[in-house]
Amino acid sequence: MKKLIALLLFGFMFFGMSAQNKSDLPNVTLKDLNGKSVNIADLNNGGKPFVMTFWATWCAPCVKEHNALTDVYDDWVDETGVKIFSVSIDDARATAKIKPFVDGKGWPFEILLDVNKDLARAMNVSNPPHTFLFDGNGKIVWQHTGYLDGGEEDLYQEILKIAK
């Protein structure tokens, strides 16, 4: 029995050593707006910081936040090279509506569909909007829940701190 425990322990350790867990991005597969599968663990922005923001079509502050980010996005990209991944947690009722909704509002972000909240659960998101800032290596450096008018400025200050 003791041997078994020791063996398990060892197994665990090597398992841990061989595991490539450099980032805070979980191994969850979502779809993009073209129906293509995207493994979240592979998300990156070529070594530059990126933002992941959770939203839903029924969440008014989320839509406000996205509209506000749209207004400043071009400037942010020019100055810092940041990229925004926007994760919708709408259920299947809205899957077909997200693309026209996003396009109709002119949002320039990369949209991912988390129809059964797999990523939201893995990232411990309870209520949208919830915004994460990742450094170039996929480590979470800042996060914020809720959106109040002007809140995007705060996010930008955090991006500036880590952008090179």
160 lines the binding site for another protein (CB under 8 A): no
Q: Does 164 bind another protein (CB under 8 A)?
A: no
The site that binds another protein (CB under 8 A) totals a number of residues, namely 64
Shortest CA distance to 33 belongs to which of 121, 129, 103, 122? 103
- Could you say whether residue 16 binds another protein (CB under 8 A)? yes
Residues 64 to 123: which contact another protein by CB under 8 A? 67, 71, 91-93, 95-97, 99-106, 115-118, 121-123
Binding of residue 13 to another protein (CB under 8 A)? yes
| Minimum gap (Å) between residue 16 Cβ and another protein | 5
Which has the closest alpha carbon to 39: 20, 56, 12, 66?
A: 20
Query: Cα(102)–Cα(136) distance, rounded to whole angstroms?
Result: 26
Residue whose CB is less far from another protein, 122 or 163: 122
Least Å distance between CB 133 and another protein?
11
Q: Does 124 bind another protein (CB under 8 A)?
A: yes
- Beta pairing partners, 73: none
Site membership for another protein, residue 2 (CB under 8 A)? no
Q: Of 71 and 164, which has the nearer Cβ to another protein?
A: 71
Task: State the residues that interact with another protein by CB under 8 A.
Answer: 6, 10, 12-13, 15-21, 24, 26-27, 29, 34-37, 39, 41, 57-60, 67, 71, 91-93, 95-97, 99-106, 115-118, 121-127, 130, 142-146, 148-151, 153-154
